[in-house]
Amino acid sequence: MISQLNEVPLWDIVIIGGGATGLGTAVDAASRGYKTLLVEQFDFAKGTSSRSTKLVHGGVRYLAQGNIRLVMDALKERGILLKNAPHITSNFSFVIPAYKWWEKMYYGFGLKIYDIMAGRLSLGSTKIISKKTAQELLPTAETKNLRGGIVYRDGQFDDTRLAINLAQTAEENGATILNYCKVIKLEKQEGIIAGVHILDSITGKEMLIKSTNVINATGVFTDAVLKMDDASQPKLVAASQGVHIVLDKKYFPGNNALMVPRTADGRVLFAVPWHGKVVVGTTDTPVDHTSYEPTALEEEINFILTHINLYLSADISRKDVRSVFVGLRPLVKNTAAKKTSLLPRDHTVVISKSKLVSITGGKWTTYRKMAKDVLDKTIALGQLEKKTCVTEGLKIHGWTDTIERPDDLYYYGSDAAMVKELYKENPAWKESIHPALPYTKAMVIWAVRNEMAMTVEDVMARRTRSILLDAGASIEASPIVAELMANEMRMDESWIREQLNSFISIAKKYTMDDV
Ligand SMILES: Cc1cc2nc3c(=O)[nH]c(=O)nc-3n(C[C@H](O)[C@H](O)[C@H](O)COP(=O)(O)OP(=O)(O)OC[C@H]3O[C@@H](n4cnc5c(N)ncnc54)[C@H](O)[C@@H]3O)c2cc1C
């Protein structure tokens, strides 16, 4: 990929940022036939895009807020994503338990509208259920005052596996996709954007990349790039922190998710089964400071534990938490809104005087529509030949019509058979990296050879989801992973030591010891 930088004297489009927005834009641009380069300063989805609730959803909460357009768009995108990436998405049952007499009718009616809005892309109809069925679907739900509930369908996915598959799809369509390359300066000619200066953080080499168009897709870091363009730019993005905790499945068995539309203090709470664990969250805390490894606040953990204990019969405490992960929502600033939870989740495209195009806001679910929108607006600047978007029917890398869900490797889709082929090269690679983690040594090798994993953290956090599923176990497994990677990448002992120090200091932030 790096060698391709020297082969292209002028790119049509350079995209800054390798999260959902940037990767989606790279897929769109490359599949329209533009000469496309994406640069990500760390690893793909290192930012917000690895820290979502893992829902492909219209957003029941946004419906309650009256944001009909966002919900309609998101429901359409949900349907498209489930078709184009069936290996990393699933159609899931969400159960709202009803503890008050009016809740069944109120939420049941709202969710019927949600279904109708999804039209032919509906994932199945909403049902009002009895107390007995609610108990069957949510075996550990609190039964005191339980009056039944509502079951509706929504989507679930693996956010970083989708990010990696989008990078692969973009590359297969002709894009050049680089991780560990940071944009440090914008290049201008007569005041108009003409490229970017990048720093390859692995070799330390700086390079000027010339491009007709530059798209800034840097999430909560959008303002930093806008400032490179014009130091007097007002802030565009407000960051809001969301925390999740991960628990063992025994606290929430079964294959249905729990959705609480309105906790006592007016928030939404989800408990969603995921890779053999349960993800519970989230919070919505405005933050002034943006960081790549944000820290959960004590009160956020307390909020999640207190509220999940109201809805589940088990008494879950801090010691039961396997991992805690924190993400920052890039929300478009709106001075009228008093709370970040009231800021709209729609995306915004801003074109500055220098013709730098910035896109921010939105959701993982709507990444494809966001990409189409930003590309259409970039084309309208008049520097590119007009070409139409083809992503609505474009299959994402890994697409297959023969997914066997009980298979541990189902989320590799069409790559699963090739991951298994590695067992023939070395039968020891069939072994697990840790008894508490659902990952084999072959997956580590695959990630290095085929998915551009450069560091132990890339493998543990985003190629596999070890750090999210069990942060303690991921620390214990890290020496094995570092050793496998070093052999594969021909790295020495000092690389292993440096990788382990760096990974362990990050992984500790995901344990409860650091909150
Ligand atoms: C707690 C939480 C839960 C969420 N849950 C859901 C959900 O369930 N479903 C859903 O649809 N959405 C969800 N979202 C929203 C969704 O995750 C985000 O909208 C989306 O991930 C944002 O992606 P992005 O690409 O804009 O930003 P990011 O993922 O942050 O990507 C921006 C990238 O730009 C890179 N970058 C920054 N500066 C530079 C530079 N100078 N040079 C090169 N690269 C640079 C960063 O390293 C980063 O990787 C959730 C968000 C949060 C916070």
Residues 480 and 459 in one domain: yes
**pLDDT for the residue 48:** 98
Does residue 80 lie within any of the structural domains?
Answer: no
**CA 264 / ligand 1 centre spacing (Å):** 29
Ligand 1 neighbour 41 (Cβ under 6 A): yes
So what's the pLDDT on residue 346?
Answer: 83
What is the structure's pLDDT at 511? 95
Contact (Cβ atoms closer than 8 angstroms) between residue 84 and residue 396: yes
Residue 273 β-bridge partners: 278
- Ligand 1 binding pocket includes 259 (Cβ within 6 Å): no
In angstroms, the Cα distances linking 388 to 347, 481, 505 are: 21, 43, 46
Determine the distance from the C-alpha atom of residue 462 to the mean position of all C-alpha atoms in its chain, rounded to a whole number. 10
282 and 420 share a domain?
no
CA 275 to chain centre: 15
Beta-strand pair 237-248/277-281: antiparallel
State which ligand 1 atom lies nearest to the alpha carbon of 55. 8
C-alpha of 126 from chain center:
26
Residue 57 lies in a domain: no
Atom of ligand 1 nearest to the CA of 326: 1
Residue minimizing CA distance to atom 23 of ligand 1: 20
Q: How far apart (Å, rounded) are the C-alpha atoms in residues 226 and 193?
A: 12
Low-confidence ranges of the chain (pLDDT < 70): 334-345, 406, 514-515
Asked if the peptide bond before residue 36 counts as cis, ω within 30 degrees of 0, the response is no
Contact 242 CB / ligand 1 (< 6 Å)? yes
Looking at the structure of the chain, the number of domains it has is 3
- With 0-12 CB in 10 A as exposed, 13-18 as middle and 19+ as buried, what is 49? buried
**Token output for 329:** 């929502």
Question: Are both 418 and 492 inside the same structural domain?
Answer: yes
Please state the atom number of ligand 1 nearest to the C-alpha of residue 54.
8
Same domain (yes/no): 414, 503: yes
Give the per-residue pLDDT at 475: 98
Residue 125 lies in a domain: yes
Same domain, 330 and 289: yes
Residue of 16, 46, 52 with the most ligand 1 atoms within 8 Å of its CB, for mutation: 52
CA 256 to chain centre: 21
> Looking at the domain assignment, is residue 106 inside a domain?
yes
Give the residue from 320, 341, 362 where a domain finishes. Answer: 341
Residue with tokens 């040594």: 441
For residues 53 and 57, give the distance between their C-alpha atoms in angstroms, rounded to a whole number: 10
Q: pLDDT at position 336, please? A: 52
Residue 104 is part of a domain; what is its CATH number?
3.30.9.10
The residue whose CA has the least distance to atom 41 of ligand 1 is: 183
pLDDT on residue 337: 54
DSSP string, 153-212: EEEEE-HHHHHHHHHHHHHHTT-EEESSEEEEEEEEETTEEEEEEEEETTT--EEEEEEE
Residue 208 falls within a domain, yes or no?
Answer: yes
Strands 347-351 and 323-332: unpaired
- Ligand 1 lined by 183 (C-beta under 6 Å): yes
Taking the centre of ligand 1 as the mean of its atom positions, its distance from the CA of residue 487, in whole angstroms, is 32
Of 368, 393, 418, the residue that ends a domain is: 393
- Domain extent, residue 422, equals 410-514
Give the integer Cα–Cα distance in Å for 135 and 133.
5
The set of residues, in sequence order, having a beta carbon less than 8 Å from that of 357 and lying 6+ positions away, is: 213, 214, 215, 216, 349, 350, 351, 374, 377, 378, 381
